[in-house]
Structure 1
């Protein structure tokens, strides 16, 4: 079983909104921050910018959108303040720990597949109490390939010692997580926490990690039966 981190296990959008409020006093410009982040984070995952440069340049671009042009030093100071606020706000979703406990109790090996800088993501995983949860951490900066590149998914399968057809990957992005995994032969599952989008026909969709055990036990027959519900407890009694 492979899982994405941000907005799958960790409420990264929530912590980011909190950090924006700490930076400018409100989150009314959240949509501008999101668009700016998408643009600059794409440059990080393609190795055009290193992570620290990306963060500072994103902050400069955000303020420039409102007519305030910062020099690099001031942008770095503001970004440091925002980042500290965000790290204090890192939280797991309510369904994360119950689901991970069920997966572990079912005898599944667990891996993370995440597009992120290595040290930063490892620090985040430790900060939310998941440092000892996963058998493998597959991080784009360390692999040299980012989702949906097939190489990062194959790296995770190899690390788990399993064929892609034996591995499920769950993430909040339809294109880079669920469909990206499916293209290499894994079982891609889209976690659509809003539940408002049209459901795709090529991959299963869940709206909460509480739904994942039921999906694994009923709708993914290629997952070995002995690995589904090895805890011996009926699904109705599980906390996930």
Structure 2
């Protein structure tokens, strides 16, 4: 098997997170939300609306990842929480309302400029590579296709099709087993300290934190390999 090194450590495989690692998820949410809210005449207090949306997304998506609710149920919970004064008890009505946002959100999907080259570099080294993401398998595969990342022919492992969601070690081990690599030689690259880096370490893997906007303080990531761009992943072969 082909081997490379990262900071002097042998690397026999690489896993990438998807949202806010390869794909600009937060940017797509903000752009899509602004267009959608403007279409509803909710231009006032836009910043407050955006932050409240992100808070609801974090709350209910975490519930989905824990298996408490389905992917559709977390969407309905978010829209009901966002419009508490509206009667959205009927699922079909809630789905129709959030459907307007989802159309704007999907239209705003885009891969970071360094994403494709990073995947191409790992593939050029002959290393097994996969995308390990929390979320619905179908939705995440659609995102990979629509952002052009599917052209790199990298398998997508989404939590809805895994034994557990990140940071549970089972998610990482399942992806490694499918790629045919031992976790001890795999590097996980992701933007979440908890889900990606701590989860990878619990599975016996190395982790590289991509922190594009200095989200974490230095004391929070002491001892963690941190980069600002995927271009910094200079694998030595």
Report the TM-score when normalising by structure 2. Answer: 0.84
1:15 equivalent in alignment to 2:36: no
Aligned equivalents of 1:171, 1:92: Cα separation in 2: 14
Q: Distance in 1 between matches of 2:124 and 2:69?
A: 41
Partner of 1:136: 155
Task: Name the residue aligned to 2:6.
Answer: none
Alpha-carbon distance between aligned partners in 1 of 2:76 and 2:181, rounded to the nearest angstrom: 40
- Mapped contact 1:23–1:78 kept (Cα < 8 A): no
Distance across 1 between alignment mates of 2:224 and 2:157: 22
User: Would you say how many aligned residue pairs link Structure 1 and Structure 2?
Assistant: 214
- Segments of 4+ in structure 1 off by > 4 A? none
Using the TM superposition, give the Cα deviation of residue 48 of structure 1 relative to its aligned residue in structure 2, in angstroms: 1.3
Give, in angstroms, the shift of residue 31 of structure 1.
Answer: 1.3
Which residue is 2:71 aligned to? 51
What runs of 5+ residues in structure 1 fail to find an aligned partner? Answer: 218-227, 229-240
Give the aligned partner of residue 59 of structure 2.
39
SS in 2 for 1:52: helix
Paired with 2:147 and 2:188, the residues of 1 have a C-alpha distance of: 21
What is the RMSD computed on CA atoms of the aligned residues? Answer: 1.6
C-alpha contact (below 8 Å) 1:112/1:134 kept by paired residues: no
Greater RCO, 1 or 2 (C-alpha within 8 Å, sep 6+): 2
- Contact 2:20–2:191 (CA<8 Å) still a contact in 1? yes
> What is the CA-CA distance between 1:47 and the residue it aligns to?
1.5
Q: Distance in 2 between matches of 1:101 and 1:157?
A: 19
How far does the alpha carbon of each residue in 1:171-191 deviate from its partner, in whole angstroms, 9 at most, with x for none?
110111012101211111111
Q: In 1, distance between residues paired with 2:215 and 2:193?
A: 13
Q: TM-score, normalised by structure 1?
A: 0.83
Offset at 1:125? 0.9
Residue 157 of structure 1 corresponds to which residue in structure 2? 176
Q: Structure 2: which 5+ runs fail to align?
A: 1-13
Deviation for aligned residue 1:68: 4.5
Helix, strand or coil at the partner of 1:98? helix
Q: Is the 8 A contact 2:116 2:149 kept in 1?
A: no
2:26 corresponds to 1:5:
no
Structure 2 counterparts to residues 1-240 of structure 1, below 5 A: 1-25=14-38, 26=43, 27-28=46-47, 29-64=49-84, 67-72=85-90, 73-199=92-218, 200-213=221-234, 216-217=235-236, 228=237
**Which one has the bigger strand percentage?**
2
Is the Cα–Cα contact under 8 Å of residues 183 and 205 in structure 2 kept in the other structure?
yes
User: For the residues of structure 1 that align with 2:141 and 2:228, how far apart are their CA atoms?
Assistant: 26
Q: Distance in 1 between matches of 2:154 and 2:118?
A: 16
Taking the aligned partners of 2:170 and 2:215, their CA distance within structure 1 comes to: 31
